[in-house]
Chain A
Amino acid sequence: MDMPIAAIVALAAGTLAFRLAGPLLRDRVRLAPRLEALLATAALVLLFALVVTSSFGGFAKPAGVVVAGVLAIRRAPFPVIVIAAAATTALLRFIGVP
C-alpha cells in the first residue's frame, strides 16, 4: 500500500492553512461583537452537523447518540453521557442489532 510523504504533507499543509486563517485575520482586524457571536454560533452549527453526519449507519450507533442527547438535555454528568452512548451501541450490537 502506497502513501507518498508528499500526499501526507499536502493534506497537512492544506489543513494548517484552514486552521491558520482565522487566528491570523482576527489578529489584524477588530470584529464587531455581533460578528463574534455569529462566529461562535457557526462553530456550534458545524459541531452539531458533525454529530448528525457521524451518527449515520445502522441502528445501534444513532440509538447510542440519541441516548447521549437525552442525557445531555437532562444535564447528566459528562462521563455518564459518553459511556451510556457507547454502552447502548455496544449492547444493541451484542444482541445482533446492526
Chain B
Amino acid sequence: MSVVFILMAMRSISRTALRDIALVCVADAIVGASFGAIAVSGGFDPWVPVVMSLIVFAGGAQFAAIGIVMAGGGIIAAVATGLVLNARLLPFGFAVADVVKGRLAGVHLITDETVAFALKGRDARERHDYFWTSGLALFAAWNASVVVGALAGSVIGDTDALGLDAAFPAVLVALIMPALADRGARIPVLTGGAIALAASTLFPAGVPVLLSLLGLLARPKET
C-alpha cells in the first residue's frame, strides 16, 4: 500500500531531492536505533519504544517522554512535556494542509523534516511530492530502526561520539536556508531564534520553540 503511494509520489521528484531525502532517512535511522536502544537499556520492555514510535512518530517528544520516566519524573510529566514539545505541529499542520489534503496518513506524517521538505518545493506539485516521499520514507526508516535498536539494546554504542546529535539541527538548517534569502522571512525567523534562545534559559523544553512565534511581529510591512 505505502509502496504504491511512494511510487505515485515520486512522479516529479528530482534525483537530488531523492538523495537529500535518503540522507535524512539514514541520519534519522541512526537516531531511531539509539532511541530504541536507550529505552530498552533504560529498563523498558522492547514494545514500549516500538509502539510509541508507530503511534506518536515524533522523535523529540519520544526521547523526552522516555527520558523523564527514566529520570523518575513520572508518567504525567512525561506525557505533558511530550505534548508541549508537539504543540508546534499545530501551526505546521496549517502550513502543509494543502499537500496533506485531509488524508489521515498524511496528517500522521507531519514532522519537522517533512514540513521543511514541503516548504522547499517551488510549486504545489513539488511541495506535494517532497512531503509524501520524505514522509513515507522517514516513517519506514524511523520505525524499522527503532525496532532494530530495541532488539540490539545496549549493543549500540554512544552515537554522540559520531556527532549525530548535531545532524538533526544541521538537516533543518540546510532545508530552511534557501527560504531565508527572502527578507520577509529572514527577519521574523532570526528574531524568533533570538527569542527562543533567551527563553530557553527560563522555560522548560518545548516552550521556547512556541515563544519564537512572537518573532512574526517583526515581519517587515508589505508595500
Residues of chain A having any CB pair with chain B under 8 Å? 1-5, 7-12, 14-16, 18-27, 34, 37-57, 60-61, 64-65, 68-69, 71-73, 78-79, 81-82, 84-91, 93-94
User: How far apart sit A1 and B43, CA to CA, in the bound complex (Å)?
Assistant: 5
Taking Cβ atoms with an 8 Å cutoff, the residues of B that contact A are: 16, 19-20, 23-24, 27, 42-44, 48, 51-52, 55-58, 60-61, 65-66, 69-70, 75, 78-79, 82-83, 86-98, 100-102, 106-108, 110, 112, 115-116, 119, 160-177, 179-180, 184-185, 188-190, 192-193, 195-197, 200, 205, 208-213, 215-216, 219, 222
Residues of A within 8 A of B213 (CB): 42, 45-46
C-alpha gap A41/B56 in the complex (Å): 25
With A11-B61, A23-B97, A44-B179 known to touch, is A53 a contact of B200 (CB < 8 Å)? Answer: yes
Task: Please name the residue on chain B nearest to A81 by beta carbon.
Answer: B174
Nearest Cβ on chain A to B29's Cβ, whole angstroms: 13
* Cα distance, A23 to B108, chains bound together (Å): 11
Residues in B with CB closer than 8 Å to A26 are 94, 97-98
B interface majority secondary structure: helix
Contact of A25 among B94, B95, B208 (CB under 8 A): B94
Q: How far is the CA of A87 from the CA of B69 in the complex (A)?
A: 32
Asked if residues B82 and A3 are in contact (CB atoms below 8 Å), the reply is: no
Write out the residue numbers on chain B whose beta carbons fall within 8 Å of the beta carbon of A27: 97, 101-102
Can you name the residue of chain B whose Cβ is closest to the Cβ of A78? Answer: B20
B172: chain A residues at CB < 8 Å are 47-48, 50-51
Query: How distant is B74 from chain A, measured CB to nearest CB, in Å?
Result: 10
Residues of chain B with a CB closer than 8 A to A86's CB: 27, 162-164, 166-167, 170
Determine whether the beta carbon of A65 is less than 8 Å from that of B102. no
In whole angstroms, what is the CA distance A85 to B177 when docked? 15
Q: How far is the CA of A71 from the CA of B38 in the complex (A)?
A: 32
B166's partner among A16, A23, A85 (CB-CB below 8 A) is A85
List B contacts of A8 (CB < 8 A). 48, 51-52, 55-56
In the bound complex, residues from chain A placing their C-beta under 8 Å from that of B44 are 1, 3
Find chain A residues with CB under 8 A from B115 CB. 43, 47
Chain A nearest Cβ from B48, distance in angstroms: 5
- Given that A46-B212, A48-B192 are contacting pairs, would A93 and B161 also be in contact in the complex, using a CB cutoff of 8 Å? yes
A18: chain B residues within 8 A (beta carbon): 83, 86-90, 93
**Would you call B163 and A93 a contact (CB within 8 A)?**
yes
Known: A14-B82, A51-B193. 9 other contacts (CB 8 A): A23-B101, A45-B212, A49-B193, A49-B211, A51-B176, A69-B173, A78-B175, A88-B163, A89-B166
